[in-house]
Amino acid sequence: MENWFTMNVVLLSFSFLAGLQAFFAPCSIALIPAYVGYYVKEETEADNKIKQLLFGLKAGIFASLGLISVYVVFGVILTIFGRLIAPIFPWIELSAGGLLIFMGVSSLFGYEFAIKPPVVLGTHADGLKRFYLFGVAYAFGSIGCTLPIFLLVIFQSLAQTGTIGGLVNFSVYALAMSSLMILFSLISSLSKNAMRKFLTSYMALIQKSAGILILLAGIYLIYLALQVISI
């Protein structure tokens, strides 16, 4: 019982940290300035902070729903085809780990793996649909960098805690990403200029930090793969 509890705590912690890391993935984090500059518009009265917060909350929730929708689709597909992938998963981990290391090192040297903002900003959707579509685009960008880590979260959870445990860990993963999206939306709704200045000053640092996380994730994936392959 104690081992089962410890295992679940470790998996939940890993899922939460993986979700945070996925939000700051180099392939998607460059979209945040576009979100602040073009999507989070000051549509409420400047002196009404409550309305601004409510607007930011709605924007963040709809963006999170778009983000989660993409991951749910991937999660269902992986669950259905998981048994087919499972025998070769260590080799997928090994290859993906090498790719993540390459992307992490490249990010540290200033190369950007990112969706360009015009791809997202070209939508003509009105109202809250804009935020939902932004969340969808953000999720695809994040998956481009972190699909192997998402695979690891799903397969490790299913293998060690079953379907229910897999759903719980997926929920924690999604909660981590969604909470950051909502937080960015709330801050931006109150002070778009302050958020823009913050991103302008620290985006390079954020991208390099994300590169380090991607690099460490790649090393970890290779370690896990070699543990299985060498048995």
* Tokens describing residue 201: 């000053």
Nearest to residue 20, comparing CAs of 166, 175, 200? 175
* Tokens describing residue 33: 């300035």
Residue range 176-198, pLDDT digits in tens: 999 988 988 888 777 766 676 77
Residue range 51-94, pLDDT digits in tens: 778 888 888 899 999 999 988 888 777 767 766 776 777 787 78
Report CA-CA distances (Å) from 126 to 100, 121, 123, 134, 185.
Answer: 36, 12, 9, 12, 17
Confidence band (pLDDT; 50, 70, 90) for 137? confident
Report CA-CA distances (Å) from 180 to 174, 207, 228.
Answer: 10, 16, 34
Nearest to residue 17, comparing CAs of 223, 220, 226? 220
Domain spans in the chain, listed from the N-terminal domain onward: 2-92+113-200
Residue range 138-179, pLDDT digits in tens: 888 888 777 777 877 777 776 666 667 777 888 888 889 999
| Residue type, position 120, single letter | V
